[in-house]
Amino acid sequence: MTWLSSLVVAALASLAGALLGALIGNACVSWYQLSPRDGGAGLAAGYAALVGGFAGFFIGLVSARLVAAYWGPDFRKELIGALVPVVLIAGVLALRLRLSADVAPTIDGRELTLEVEFRFPNTYSAERPPTAEGNDWVMALVSYTGQKDRTEKHGDIRTEAARYENGQWIVPTQVHLYTERGRREVMVTRRSSSEVVSFVLPLPRRPGRRFETWSAWTPEQQPNGQPWPADKMSCRFRVQKEPAAD
């Protein structure tokens, strides 16, 4: 009867593990932006439920036998002793996966577009903006953790909206603010160039409404405290809520 009780407990723990696994897998579909078109979303939830079920059975059976060995056979004690580690392990795993994922920040439940205007040096005096040869330029948002380049996402360079002000070309760009992780850095460069112009943005993990207005031009000054010169590139940024889904 002791083993029968433990097997029933293990079966219940297996069901709990499968349910928690399915919930975690379903959450990962959103966290890791898995596309439902190629079946990845369903596979993630199904695989997680299967692994959770097997793990729950094993953990539940071992825990139930340990409880029975130390405190004597008792269905209620064995069930509690089996479910607690299953729930704790699932919670730690879910937290780990959430912290490792690139989750897009939102304002009012809507994801954000990061708009960046790059102001080119006044030494460039051509009649057309520097990015007029669009295929030769790339703009990207890069996420750094420590010194490691984690991920990056390319954005759009809106050369058609470029303007010439006070002897400098200003070129608007935009990119989906795809992650709240790490240090966010924007860059613009020619594909054929080894020189990359990049700026670390003072953007918090979850920017609020005050970031919907343009920042000051950055950098504002040189290391010696003097104003940032016009013969060097600078930028400014803001976030905008993406259109609501129909």
Task: State the Cα–Cα distance between residues 77 and 71, nearest whole angstrom.
Answer: 8
Q: Are residues 191 and 225 in the same domain?
A: yes
Is 246 inside any structural domain?
Answer: no
Q: Are residues 200 and 223 in the same domain?
A: yes
How many other C-beta atoms lie within 10 A of the C-beta of residue 205? 11
Give me the pLDDT at residue 149, please.
57
Pick the last residue of a domain from 37, 65, 100.
100
**Phi first, then psi: what are they for 213, rounded to 5°?**
-105, 160
Pick the last residue of a domain from 100, 133, 150.
100
Name the domain count of the chain.
2
Is pLDDT at 216 greater than 90 in this prediction? yes
For residue 178, give the 3-state DSSP assignment.
Answer: coil
Q: Are residues 58 and 160 in the same domain?
A: no
Pick the last residue of a domain from 69, 100, 131.
100
* Domain span including residue 89: 2-100
**Which DSSP helix (H) or strand (E) runs through 218?**
none
Q: Is the peptide bond before 130 cis (omega within 30 degrees of 0)?
A: no
H runs (alpha helix) in 152-203: none
187-211 confidence digits (pLDDT tens): 998 887 767 788 999 999 899 999 9
81-109 confidence digits (pLDDT tens): 999 999 999 999 999 888 888 888 999 98
For residue 241, give the 3-state DSSP assignment.
Answer: strand
Is 229 inside any structural domain?
Answer: yes
Give me the pLDDT at residue 73, please.
80
Average pLDDT of the segment spanning 50-74? 88
How many other C-beta atoms lie within 10 A of the C-beta of residue 202? 13
Give me the pLDDT at residue 1, please.
45
Task: State the Cα–Cα distance between residues 137 and 115, nearest whole angstrom.
Answer: 17
Is 10 inside any structural domain?
Answer: yes
Which two tokens mark 153? Answer: 């996402």
